[in-house]
Amino acid sequence: MRKWLGLLIILLFALRGYGQIAPLIPVHDPVMIKQDSLYYIFCTGRGITVWSSKDRQTWKREKPVFAQTPDWAAKAIPKARPNDFWAPDISYYNGKYHLFYAVSVFGKNTSVIGLATNKTLHADSPDFKWEDQGEIIRSIPGQDHFNAIDPNLILDEKNVPWLSFGSFWDGIKLVKLSADLKSPAQPKPWLTIANRAGLSHSSNDTTAGRGAIEGPFIFKHAQYYYLFVSWDYCCRGPKSNYKMMIGRSTRITGPYLDRDGTDMAKGGGTLVLAGDKDWYGVGHNAVCTFDGVDYLVFHAYDAADNGRSKLRIEPLMWDKDGWPVVQTAK
């Protein structure tokens, strides 16, 4: 009886689209949003890669956001690969879709975060047009001890916008934004909300140091703000050892504490999901809610395909103490 009950539960998850049973499309740093009946994935790639789906199972490659790097970004980061955009973040805010993105040079903090807006995500709409809003944040080697990549927008309980971002160096930063999202609302120094304490960091533009932390995403659940980050290394195929870590706070500004009460700004972090024999590493996640169900959206390095990066979407549950549990499909 228990065996049949288990099979029934698995079948119900499959019919509802839970778990990673979809074709494994190639992505890095995915974020997902829904407009009307269509789901959209935005991710790292030339021009910002875009996918659409009606069911989160079958995905269609859409036209990228940009045909080329905006002039201001090309001038700011002249050594970046042409039309190469990193880790976009999509939100619907004040009647428009707001897409934050980064342009950078790998392993350096020569980086900028920009913003593009659109009235709709449907490419067949007459209102469809991405409009670049320019630079939001820049990091300069030798001047800044942070890296302006991996942006994520979150609104607090008063609908004030905040942007988390960063990698390596001094870790993950948090800054309050202006109401139009086009600039920081307060001067530096900005809050450091997560860090790999005890690991060396470099402020020059030749090395990121050993403090491997990046990909922040803040998600509000019940009374807590949850800060997801990725530790260790992406983008190394079979040698990728990416993993997702978390802490939480009752205030958006932190401190974000792990299960043991350690501040993430002092090296704390509780494991959410790590690689295994099927996936070398997992990370750079977003959290989305559709029809009352929370989902963890991330990329993982496929052991069955020489460590190539693939999309995974898994239901995200919450235990009795309010900590996230990933409901992975086997």
**Sole residue written with tokens 């991405």:** 130
Cβ distance 289 to 251 under 8 Å? no
The one catalytic residue among 29, 150, 170, 302 = 29
With a CB cutoff of 8 Å and minimum separation 6, the contacts of 106 are none
Helix (H), strand (E) counts: the chain: 2, 21
Sheet with 270-274, side-by-side order of all strands: 213-221, 224-231, 243-249, 270-274
29 is an active site residue: yes
DSSP letter string, 211-232: --EEEEEEEEETTEEEEEEEES
157 is an active site residue: no
The one catalytic residue among 150, 170, 214, 232 = 214
**Closest to 287 (Cα-Cα) out of 170, 193, 179, 164:** 164
| Cis omega (within 30 of 0) for bond into 23 | no
The angle at the Cα of 45, spanning 152 to 207, to the nearest 5 degrees, equals 70
Alpha carbons within 13 A on the beta-carbon side of 289: 5
Chain centre to alpha carbon of residue 61: 20
78, two tokens: 């002249």
Sign of CA dihedral 136, 223, 215, 257: positive
38, two tokens: 């269509």
Using DSSP bridges, classify how beta strands 224-231 and 131-139 pair: parallel, antiparallel or unpaired: unpaired
d(CA 211, CA 172): 11
d(CA 69, CA 158): 35
**Sole residue written with tokens 């790292």:** 44
- Helices marked H in 56-119: 71-76
**How does DSSP classify residue 257?**
B
Among all residues, which ones are annotated catalytic?
29, 214
